[in-house]
Amino acid sequence: MRLCKQIVKMADAMQPQLVERRRDIHRHPEPGWTEFRTASLVADELTRLGYTVKTGEAAIKKSAMMGVPDETILKAAQKRAVDQGADKTWVEKMSGGLTGIIGTMNFSNDGPVVALRFDMDSNDVSETQNEQHRPYREGFCSINPNAMHACGHDGHTTVGLAVAGILSSLKDELKGTIKLIFQPAEEGVRGARAMVENGDVDDVNYMLGAHFGFKMRKTGSIACNVKGFLATSKYDAYFTGVPAHAGAAPETGKNALLAAACATLNLHAISRHSEGVSRINVGTLEAGSGRNIIGDKALIKLETRGGSSNINKYMETEAQRILKAAAQMYDVKIQIEKVGGAAGANNTPELAKYIHSQAEELGIFNNIVDDCDFGASEDFSYFMERVQENGGQAAYVMVGADLAAGHHDSHFDFDEKALGYSVKALTCTAAGLLLGDNK
């Protein structure tokens, strides 16, 4: 309890700094795998605080990356980051989109390994510019085209650095090891798998993740036992046919447009799974070259979801079978690319119960919720799944925040008082786990 009181005082004193940092990150949003400025800021601060910092291929398994932009986009993003104040040395280490950061501090060898995940990326959204929108009115609106922190990840990164600062100042009182994982490309569920497959959490005993808002839309509330993470897979399917004059020689063409249309209808006809939630959606279908040309190309962007990883695997298998069968039916070529994914997961009940006890002990929350159904996908589930498979415990927390608009909306903004609530809850929980107070 004494340590928690100390943490609360430190977090309260940080509030102006939290707001300043969050607004700086909000003003410079960077979509997945291009978080060069944000990651550089994180690496600088963690190094200053005394953490051992890994980035580049030391933190990311390159072969497991999904949905990476092309090299032209990455290089332009690197240049922009440096122009906007990023440290060039850090940025060069992250070439190729390897923007994950891991900060590790060892307090003693007789305690657990505790990890916290914070996501850094922004959305592909153009932020609204009118006087009713606080970021615009107060001068911290996005300056990067078609990029906006419309999901609160600017706040998550800010919270992560505050947690890092408090724990480092308490290092003489803590045990075990802390790992602070700053993850790229959460949007589109692309980034976590590459860090998990790198082995970064294989030694972790307790893993925590958090998000502002969603089901908790009031500042001062918290959900401690988030359930129902849907497993998901994101695919791009490219159909390539043969163009031909639609009037003079249609028989010489091979119609990729019709193959994609056939696949779309049959994808939505996949039988639902009897053991839980199963979903599929074709969100985009682009096809053809012109009115009088046999459609020689098509692109389907689709996703599958399942109440568990096994159910999602069933949906994936069926989707791939149908895509390939449609291509064969129309005698066209197909290339299927996986561009994102997340596992199905649930909080470890024991860890969720401990988070609840810490939230109560803090005495700052006016609404503490136990069970909260997520009903969506978040690639933190990859971390949860790996830690739990290895015998550890993992949990995801929703920290309440008053929202100006829904997530991914161009008017999104959140109550910055929630930054302090999150810092206090996560730091007190992490410190308690390091000291074994949950035993």
* DSSP code per residue over 350-373: HHHHHHHHHHHHHT--SEEEEEEE
Q: Which helix (H) or strand (E) holds 395?
A: strand 393-399
Residue 3 CB coordination number (10 Å)? 16
Q: Where in the chain is the domain with CATH 3.30.70.360?
A: 231-342
CA 369 to the chain's CA centroid: 23
From 297, 198, 283, 183, select the one nearest 232 (Cα to Cα).
283
pLDDT of residue 182: 98
Task: Give the pLDDT of residue 370.
Answer: 87
* Ranges of residues in the chain whose predicted pLDDT is under 70: 1
Contact 66, 338 (CB under 8 A): yes
Does CATH place domain 231-342 in 3.40.50.1370? no
CATH 3.40.630.10 range(s) for the chain read 2-228+344-434
pLDDT of residue 1: 63
CB hemisphere CA count around 187 (13 angstroms) = 22
Q: Could you say which of 3.30.1050.10, 1.10.357.10, 3.30.70.920, 3.40.630.10 is the CATH number of the domain covering 2-228+344-434?
A: 3.40.630.10
The pLDDT value given to residue 287: 98
